[in-house]
Structure 1
Amino acid sequence: MIRGWRLEIRKILNKNNKQRILNQDNFNMPDISTINDQMVEIPGGKIELRDDRIKHNWSVEIEPFLLARFPVTQELYFEITKESPASFKGDKKPVETVSWKDAVIFCNLFSEKAGLQPCYYLSADSTEITFDPKANGYRLPTEAEWEYACKAGTTGSRYGEIDTIAWYKDNSEGMTHDVAMKTPNSWGLYDMLGNVWEWCSDIYDETVYGSYRIFRGGGWCDEVRGCLATNRRRSHPSSFKIDDLGFRVARNLKDK
């Protein structure tokens, strides 16, 4: 309920205050050809996941893959989509207020611009989305890949002391911050906890929640207990957008 009130207040503020309009003149455009330099090679391994809701544990084998060093920024999102949905404006801040569907559309557009094969097929009316695991383009990480990469070989629920690694309720001053300002994990990944939650590719529980998709990591407005590598949340893939939810991209390593 509090999250809902916060989003409504944000909408009212946006209506009452002239928002900065972002166009090409507002940005130092990223060089698409160098984006792969910001992709980290994640080694293969194994991760045990847990659903506290039903007290269920399961293990997942992780193939080596590539994961972006930090969440997609507003600068990059605008370069690819020509849209600026974020509530907290800033070129180097993570894009937020994007749905799961928005994120996969970005991945496809990004892939096309980079000369790669898109990973997602959208129906003519964009209501059905299917994933092609053999495509070499950008995609969302699975939740197993995300948690495995977040922990970076550690066994705890965080990869460091929270104030050094994450923007959360006690230090964020009520907003997102530029990416890569906190200490990364041992694999060189920034903002895996805090700043914005991150969409993952997986459906949460189809039998109970239908098409709801998972997001991970905690955001700028979460308490300490919200910023854990193991926390799982979910929501509607098309309609749910909020100012502490963004995403980062992944690729299959063999397609580097």
Structure 2
Amino acid sequence: MPQPSQVDDGVRDLVAVPGGHVELADRRTETRWRVAVAPFLLGRVPVTQAQYRQVLGASPSMSDGADLPVETVSWFDAVRFCNALSVAEGHEPAYVVDGEDVTAVEGALGYRLPREAEWEHACRAGTTTPRYGDLDEIAWYADNAGGHVHPVATRAPNAWGLHDMLGNVWEWCVERYDPVVYGEYRVLRGGGWSDPEWSCRAGVRRRSHPTFAIEDLGFRVARSRAVDRGQPSS
């Protein structure tokens, strides 16, 4: 499998994630499905409070620290950040936002939230086990976090150089979880600093309303490559 590389891309430190396939699974419905993932770019770490302030002028986080992941951010907050960062760096925004009506822009190469399959493919980094390493070494979670969020990149990365894919803060993905049953609820991945070991696994899926915001919920940004134009909005 091709190996990723670091990309110097403005505000964000991005990793070029190679394409491949990933099998997603939903414990609630006991279903599995295989998804092809095109090469794309993903933030090496979750968006930090310093980066969020640089783009939007203020941080909504409950904790305070430049190198801490921004948290207490809704899905809508994350989308607005992606668009603002795209504009700041001269990229076409990935979304059209009209209040709570968000539409993906076909072919836009600006910053966006990762698709769920992209997130899991990047998290696993070629592994097939629930985690890409010993949990105490790779993640801040309930047993070692001391009841609070921690600076990004202070745990070991996966094989592709991505930090905090498990633990520290949950991360928003772009898709709806199950529109028929849950309407607008969006996918959450990765587990957070207050979660038990069970929740911090590559395949765990959770969901919440796009207005939901709490102190262990953040996000990281993605960008499509020129060979991967376009993104579904659901």
Tell me the secondary structure at the aligned position of residue 39 of structure 1. Answer: strand
* Alignment map for 1:101-140 (pairs within 5 Å): 101-123=76-98, 126-140=99-113
User: What displacement does 1:127 show?
Assistant: 2.0
Tell me the secondary structure at the aligned position of residue 11 of structure 2. Answer: helix
Could you tell me which residue of structure 2 aligns to residue 99 of structure 1?
74
Letter in 1 for 2:11: I
How many angstroms apart in 2 are the aligned matches of 1:127 and 1:177? 31
User: What displacement does 1:215 show?
Assistant: 0.7
Could you tell me which residue of structure 1 aligns to residue 4 of structure 2?
none
Could you tell me which residue of structure 2 aligns to residue 79 of structure 1?
54
Tell me the secondary structure at the aligned position of residue 157 of structure 1. Answer: coil
How many angstroms apart in 2 are the aligned matches of 1:100 and 1:139? 11
Could you tell me which residue of structure 2 aligns to residue 241 of structure 1?
213
Letter in 2 for 1:75: A
Matching of residue 225 in structure 1 with residue 181 in structure 2: no
How many angstroms apart in 2 are the aligned matches of 1:87 and 1:255? 39
- Structure 1, unaligned runs of 5 or more: 1-31
The number of residue pairs the alignment matches comes to 221
Higher relative strand content:
2
8 Å contact 2:17–2:122 — kept in the other structure?
yes
Tell me the secondary structure at the aligned position of residue 64 of structure 2. Answer: coil
Could you tell me which residue of structure 2 aligns to residue 148 of structure 1?
121
Give the TM-score normalised by the residue count of structure 1.
Answer: 0.84
Matching of residue 50 in structure 1 with residue 22 in structure 2: no
* Identity between Structure 1 and Structure 2 (%): 53
How many angstroms apart in 2 are the aligned matches of 1:234 and 1:34? 31
Tell me the secondary structure at the aligned position of residue 97 of structure 1. Answer: coil
User: What displacement does 1:216 show?
Assistant: 0.2
Higher relative helix content:
1
Give the TM-score normalised by the residue count of structure 2.
Answer: 0.92
Could you tell me which residue of structure 2 aligns to residue 35 of structure 1?
11
In terms of Rg, which structure is larger? 1
* Per-residue Cα deviation, 1:131-177 (whole angstroms, up to 9, x for no partner): 12410100000010000000000001100000000000111111111
Could you tell me which residue of structure 2 aligns to residue 251 of structure 1?
223
User: What displacement does 1:34 show?
Assistant: 3.6
8 Å contact 1:137–1:251 — kept in the other structure?
yes
User: Aligned in 2, Cα 1:188/1:33: closer, same or farther, shift over 3 Å?
Assistant: closer
Letter in 2 for 1:46: H
How many angstroms apart in 2 are the aligned matches of 1:57 and 1:135? 30
How many angstroms apart in 1 are the aligned matches of 2:128 and 2:41? 21
